[in-house]
Structure 1
Amino acid sequence: MTFSERIRMLLRRGSLAFVARLRRFARSKHGHAVGAALIVLAAVTWLRTENPWIVTELQERTFDAYQRLQPRSYADFPVRIVDIDEASIAAYGQWPWPRTRLAAMTNRLAELGAAATAYAVIFPEPDRTTPAQIAGDLQKADVPDRELTLALLASLPDHDRMFADAMGKTPTILGFAASRSKSEAHPAMKAGLAFVGVKPTDVLVPFSGAVANLPVLEEAAAGVGGINVSSRDRSGVVRRIPMLFSDGERIYPSLAVEALRVAQGQKGIVVRGTGASGEADSGEAALLDVRIGDFKVPLTADGEAWLYFDRDRPERYVSAKDLLDPAKEAEVRPRIEGSIVLVGTSAAGLADARATPLRQIVPGVAVHAQLIEQILSQDFISRPDWANGLEIIVTVLLAVLVAIMLLSFGAQFSLIGGVIALSLAIAGSWFAFSHFRILLDPIYPSLAAITMYIAMERTLRIASDKEKKFVRQAFGQYLAPELLARLENSPKAMQLGGEAREITVMFMDVRGFTPISEALSATELVDFVNTLLAPLSEAIQGELGTIDKYIGDSIMAFWNAPLDIADHPARACRAALRMRDIVKELNEDDAFGFAARGFADAAVRIGVGVNFGVACVGNMGSEKRFNYSAMGDVVNMAARIESATKSFGTDLLISEDVAKAAPGIAALEAGEILLKGKSRPTKLYALAGDETMSATTEFAELSRLHGRLLGALAEGDGAKAAGLLNACRGLAPVALAGLYDRFGDKIDALNVAAPAYAQAVQQAGA
């Protein structure tokens, strides 16, 4: 194989291994959670980028809350509202008033020294009370002295002309309403316009028509401005107001802009947009600000201004009734003199009420008045063009942060961390508003993070429930309840596929099972096995052992897998001792019914072998059908140790490794055996009792004598061994009687062999 072929082979193996790991991760609990996180992240990012009305509404409700928490500070700016209120309606009749009264009000404002008068009212039709209008109606009527009346009316002045003449004596601004309905009417151009950067007509959405004033009135007016509020405020709350309007060819200012321009004696305004000197061109045409004499107003990209409201205050208002009352001149003059005066109505039924973010309903004219105050104070709120990008970044970062914390630290800690992060985001947004008047939305990023948390937490919870169900189905019948609960809470401890672990293995088998099975029917045999194995299994699980399998009348169990079990060799020994006691109790109670049936040998006997070492434990089979088991030499040796109990004459045998790993257990050396596949003999120990027995003086003496017995047997001293055997029998528990019987057989063999050996020596000498 060439070098390049070897490299390609290694790369192919690496890619295959990577794909395999990726597939395993995708099927895992965290893989499902990451998948849910990616879906949520894509959805919330797309939704924020598209910015549908629900997202905008959430943002603006947040900005409203900020204004309620910190409204614009009030100062007594020279801005007043002449209010056609209920008292004025009661004094001078229902609206609309004759233009002669409006002319008188305009003249009165000029006498009181108003800097400019702006009517937030449109006069699109002739005054119905003007003499010419009445004369036209009389010509169609059959009334006495009609010609005389018509001649008299012809001699009277026109009311609209009187109003126009009054406007010519003082700087007056009229309003118009831009409309989407197509019409030929267009307001008069009064203000000059200069622009820097992008052309405003390339940005502003043109209106199709307008509700404008009578030409005679507009000719006399010093300014004409739009009175529309923003069409983007669909919820009925006024948050923005257009500062510029376009019919596609010409640019018209708003009423507030015109009022400020006229009050300052300016001829025009200057509009600045992207592409202007010193401004970066973002690639999208947008407006930046408008300058009106000494005042600059920041604009949204489409030429609107955010309204920063103060609470509606009576100090702004002067009743039209008081204005026209000469007796109240001393009270009214200081408030009107040098002020920009806006004329509007707050009377009920005139349909000119607006909702503000401060949860107040104010007359429409008050919105324009507050805008002028805001410009005079130069206290603006703004939403920079980079706000959307920043909010999208924060949305992604918060969502990713929540996902990482959930995967790394779990639901509880990530919830605390997420709450802290969300609190910081909200605090940062509030800081930007309270100190810099910048509108940044913390709600959508917060909701996105919460959505991410819920989606991932639910996914992890469902996956965890599936894992627990899987664990319970797989291990419910093999593990103790407390061990099963631990495994459910930490399923990672069970690594399917195999892992090397240090375990203690136990095999249990029923002695003489074949004769028993031959003496019982199939049903009786099943009852016998269940009666025996049920309490023995409880003894194993009581010491936190894992039951691997039942093999007919046998049990295979192990400790320290799938979870770590402290002191597992000693636990296995205690389980074996408990199994010995259980079998004894069952026999005494004739639980199997063998004595009642008249069996010659009614006692059931078991053999237990225990070994300690490293084995491979894990899923043996497939993911859908498997058996969690252990494999290795330690398992095979445990099975052979159990078989050796027959030849050693005792029911419980443990390996030397178990005896060393559980030094507190009362165990006595039983001898050595050459197990199949081993080149050296294996030393085995007989279980005598638990830690309590091991601590007694009697067992200490037994252990000492037992050691001397083994020494005598090794030396071939049959007489000495016989004496020690009798001493051991007197101290040993009944369960070890069979073991000492085997030692007695060895001593008998020594005694027989000794004379024969002496005779052979004598014959050899002769």
Structure 2
Amino acid sequence: MRRKLILITSIISVVLLSYGVHFFDNYENSIYDAFYQKPQETNDNIVIIAIDDATINALGQWPFDRSMHADLIDFISQGNPAAIGVDLMFDSYSNEASDFELARAIKEAGNVVLAKQIVYTPKIKGYKQGSDIVISQFDELLDVSTQGHINTFLDADRVVRKINMFAKRFVLETESYEEEPNFAYALLKLYAQNAGMDDQTKENLESVLQKYNHDTEDLYIDYKGIPRKYDSIPYFLVYSEGFPASYFEDKIVLIGPYANGLQDEYVTPVVKEQPMFGIEIHANILQNLLEDSFKKPVPSFFNVLMIVFMGILAYFLSNKLSPAKGLISNAAIIIVYLILCHQVYQMGYILKVFYPILAMMIMYVSALAYHYLEQLYEKKKIRNIFGRYVAPQVVDKILEDSDNINLGGERRYISVLFVDIRGFTPLSEKAEPEQIVEILNSYLELCEQSIFKNAGTLDKFIGDATMAIYNAPLELEAHALCAVKTAWDMKMGAQKLKQELFEKYDKIVDFGIGVNTGYAVVGNIGSKKRMDYTAIGDTVNTSARLEANAKAGQILISESTYEHVKDQILATPLGGIKVKGKETLIQIYQVEGIVGDDRQANGS
């Protein structure tokens, strides 16, 4: 159990650590990109005036004279737009007259938002942090416009997935942070003030503005479609005569770069092969504000909880189910989890997908490997234990049914056989040591072969005696008969062995055998360093008493054994005998043969 807890804890800890250091965020982001982003309808109230290649070709070299921008703003303003956003930087003076015209046009429009950009000062350990720099417009434009930051926040893979509605910048003079509103947020404020709309819509917009006011947390953009999906009009078409200004009524008009050479393109989750212009990203942010469809990451606690839960669940499944069923169950749970993540996304939150599934997959594979190695260890342990006690084919059966083998101890109905070599003690006093060992080994080899032949378990050799049990560890339906057959095989084998020993050493020995049937406790019994699979209890003791009462060449069985085998053996009742530890007499029988076995006690 301790090893299993270590396995579970280690895997979950590794996944949590990788989550904490964002080790697999690229994979997480890839799943997010594929799983969440899908085409949606764009908002018709958002219009892009595109400074595209056609415009540059038509109007001449970029950048345009600022008076052209002034003329464009004047024209758009005739159509009474709700707000105009200019995603261009006029951070230094150019032609004085053109600068004046641009400031005048913006002032007269009264609803223009200009861009600003925050340049963050690197934080160097051991050095005092400097102020973050704001790159903005020349002074006269600041006085007549609203500004919003156009910073893009790139993930490690250089993809724009999220924004800060209010970006924090450090100010050294006050040693504090100031907040700069997003370009789209500033536009929405003007839209809510100026656009013609019913009271409910206006109230909803004001609620959204209040919701995101001073929100500095990460907000994931719910992109509405592929690049170039928003309505866009080439700059030069609007600038030239003939385009109806009324088209812009109550709309949010965005003016910005729309040409590949203007270096305002970013990779987004929608189509990574086709970058999206910055002005399109602002359009998406605007629509997210209008629909209140931004997605926020759930608190880290929930992600941690899901990692732990999915990991433990995977271990439970691998522990309780077969590999095939466990795999199917894991796949089903992953599908359910993906559905859950999608539902949470629809509710406005992003739940980590990759890390919980990673925890589940690693845990499942590791648990399978652990269980496999554990089974190998258990099988090796069983083989080491029973390889000494039973025949190899029985060991194989035990391994096949190892789940039902209880080594810890259980009460079972078994038959027990004890056999002892009669006449061995006086022989050992006269014979040479080498002869003694050879004779003993010959008899014990016969015992082992007879036990294994009849599916018995060789419990132990006790000097010149042997103990065997039947119906443990494997179930053996006719265990009493198998025990008696073993005794008969020993008796028959001993007759041949006696002849060989007499011819070789001029000495003979024989077996005395006792068999009893009843309940006993069986299992691994012993100390930590020395443990054997054996049986204990009154049934075992009685069998040993029967063997002690058996004469050379005699097989004695108890009445309980006889009742199981009386139709398959030939036996002579000998009446009752008194044995140690028993107040009542034990009825015993002498085995004379096995039905169907033609071998006779004379050794024929």
Where on the TM-score scale, by shorter chain, does this alignment land: which range?
Answer: 0.7 to 0.9
Shifted more, 472-481 versus 513-522: the winner is: 513-522
Question: Is the 2:571–2:593 Cα contact (8 Å) retained in structure 1?
Answer: no
Question: Is the 2:218–2:296 Cα contact (8 Å) retained in structure 1?
Answer: no
Shifted more, 347-356 versus 635-644: the winner is: 635-644
- Tell me the residue number matched to 1:36: 7
Please, which of 123, 133, 136 is the counterpart of residue 209 of structure 1?
133
SS of 1:502's partner is: strand
Pairwise CA RMSD: 3.9
Deviations along 1:499-523, one digit per CA (max 9) or x if unpaired, are: 5443211123345446876897655
Shifted more, 656-665 versus 633-642: the winner is: 633-642
Distance verdict in 2 for CA 1:258–1:38, change over 3 Å: closer
Matched length: 577
Deviations along 1:54-107, one digit per CA (max 9) or x if unpaired, are: 366555444333323x34x21451212222223333344443333233334334
Query: Which segments of 5 or more consecutive residues in structure 1 lack a partner in the other structure?
Result: 1-29, 131-156, 183-204, 268-289, 694-732, 739-766
Please, which of 184, 187, 198 is the counterpart of residue 256 of structure 1?
184
Distance verdict in 2 for CA 1:349–1:663, change over 3 Å: farther
- Tell me the residue number matched to 2:556: 653
Question: Is the 1:653–1:685 Cα contact (8 Å) retained in structure 2?
Answer: yes
C-alpha separation between the residues in 1 aligned to 2:559 and 2:358?
64
Question: Is the 2:389–2:459 Cα contact (8 Å) retained in structure 1?
Answer: yes
Alignment of 1:70-81 (within 5 A): 70-71=38-39, 73-81=40-48
Shift of residue 536, structure 1, vs aligned partner: 3.9
C-alpha separation between the residues in 2 aligned to 1:93 and 1:580?
118
Distance verdict in 2 for CA 1:351–1:566, change over 3 Å: farther
**1:235 counterpart = 2:157:** yes
Question: Is the 2:413–2:517 Cα contact (8 Å) retained in structure 1?
Answer: yes
C-alpha separation between the residues in 2 aligned to 1:352 and 1:554?
95
SS of 2:591's partner is: strand
Alignment of 1:354-503 (within 5 A): 354-360=266-272, 361-376=275-290, 378=291, 380-383=293-296, 387-405=299-317, 416-434=328-346, 436-485=347-396, 487-488=398-399, 490=402, 493-496=405-408, 499-503=410-414
Alignment of 1:6-155 (within 5 A): 30-40=1-11, 51-54=20-23, 59-68=28-37, 70-71=38-39, 73-110=40-77, 114-127=81-94, 130=95
Shift of residue 369, structure 1, vs aligned partner: 1.0
Deviations along 1:567-586, one digit per CA (max 9) or x if unpaired, are: 32122123333444545676
- The amino acid that maps onto 2:113 is I
- Tell me the residue number matched to 2:101: 162
Distance verdict in 2 for CA 1:207–1:439, change over 3 Å: farther
Q: Greater helix percent: which structure?
A: 1
Shift of residue 556, structure 1, vs aligned partner: 1.4
Deviations along 1:674-720, one digit per CA (max 9) or x if unpaired, are: 35425554332233444646xxxxxxxxxxxxxxxxxxxxxxxxxxx
Please, which of 557, 567, 578 is the counterpart of residue 468 of structure 2?
557
Distance verdict in 2 for CA 1:314–1:464, change over 3 Å: closer
Question: Is the 1:40–1:451 Cα contact (8 Å) retained in structure 2?
Answer: yes
Which entry has the higher C-alpha Rg, 1 or 2?
1
Question: Is the 2:230–2:280 Cα contact (8 Å) retained in structure 1?
Answer: no
**1:180 counterpart = 2:133:** no
- Tell me the residue number matched to 2:149: 226
Distance verdict in 2 for CA 1:379–1:664, change over 3 Å: farther
Shifted more, 439-448 versus 525-534: the winner is: 525-534
**1:683 counterpart = 2:587:** yes
SS of 2:349's partner is: coil
C-alpha separation between the residues in 1 aligned to 2:147 and 2:114?
5
- Tell me the residue number matched to 2:546: 641
SS of 2:455's partner is: coil
Alignment of 1:186-205 (within 5 A): none
Distance verdict in 2 for CA 1:318–1:266, change over 3 Å: closer
Q: TM-score, normalised by structure 2?
A: 0.81
C-alpha separation between the residues in 2 aligned to 1:437 and 1:244?
19
C-alpha separation between the residues in 2 aligned to 1:636 and 1:520?
32
- The amino acid that maps onto 1:427 is I
Structure with higher RCO (Cα < 8 A, 6+ apart)? 2
Question: Is the 1:402–1:452 Cα contact (8 Å) retained in structure 2?
Answer: yes
C-alpha separation between the residues in 2 aligned to 1:652 and 1:645?
6
C-alpha separation between the residues in 2 aligned to 1:663 and 1:301?
92
**1:307 counterpart = 2:221:** yes
Question: Is the 2:515–2:561 Cα contact (8 Å) retained in structure 1?
Answer: yes
C-alpha separation between the residues in 2 aligned to 1:611 and 1:44?
59
C-alpha separation between the residues in 2 aligned to 1:292 and 1:737?
111
SS of 1:646's partner is: coil
Distance verdict in 2 for CA 1:343–1:206, change over 3 Å: farther
Shift of residue 614, structure 1, vs aligned partner: 3.1
SS of 1:547's partner is: strand
Please, which of 529, 535, 539 is the counterpart of residue 450 of structure 2?
539
Shift of residue 367, structure 1, vs aligned partner: 0.3
C-alpha separation between the residues in 2 aligned to 1:526 and 1:86?
105
C-alpha separation between the residues in 2 aligned to 1:734 and 1:483?
26
Question: Is the 2:222–2:295 Cα contact (8 Å) retained in structure 1?
Answer: no
C-alpha separation between the residues in 2 aligned to 1:542 and 1:313?
85
- The amino acid that maps onto 2:546 is I
C-alpha separation between the residues in 1 aligned to 2:475 and 2:548?
28
Shift of residue 52, structure 1, vs aligned partner: 3.3
Question: Is the 1:561–1:617 Cα contact (8 Å) retained in structure 2?
Answer: yes
Question: Is the 2:188–2:289 Cα contact (8 Å) retained in structure 1?
Answer: no
Deviations along 1:272-296, one digit per CA (max 9) or x if unpaired, are: xxxxxxxxxxxxxxxxxx9855854
Distance verdict in 2 for CA 1:238–1:605, change over 3 Å: same
Shift of residue 356, structure 1, vs aligned partner: 1.5
Please, which of 326, 335, 345 is the counterpart of residue 257 of structure 2?
345
Question: Is the 2:91–2:138 Cα contact (8 Å) retained in structure 1?
Answer: yes
C-alpha separation between the residues in 1 aligned to 2:26 and 2:210?
25
Question: Is the 1:66–1:433 Cα contact (8 Å) retained in structure 2?
Answer: no
Q: TM-score, normalised by structure 1?
A: 0.66
C-alpha separation between the residues in 2 aligned to 1:316 and 1:531?
101
Query: Which segments of 5 or more consecutive residues in structure 2 lack a partner in the other structure?
Result: 123-128, 170-175, 196-202
- The amino acid that maps onto 1:77 is D
Shift of residue 737, structure 1, vs aligned partner: 6.3
- The amino acid that maps onto 1:178 is I
- Tell me the residue number matched to 2:198: none
C-alpha separation between the residues in 1 aligned to 2:559 and 2:297?
80
Please, which of 527, 542, 556 is the counterpart of residue 622 of structure 1?
527
**1:671 counterpart = 2:549:** no
- The amino acid that maps onto 1:164 is A
Question: Is the 2:579–2:586 Cα contact (8 Å) retained in structure 1?
Answer: no
- Tell me the residue number matched to 2:600: 735
Distance verdict in 2 for CA 1:639–1:294, change over 3 Å: closer
Question: Is the 1:238–1:354 Cα contact (8 Å) retained in structure 2?
Answer: yes
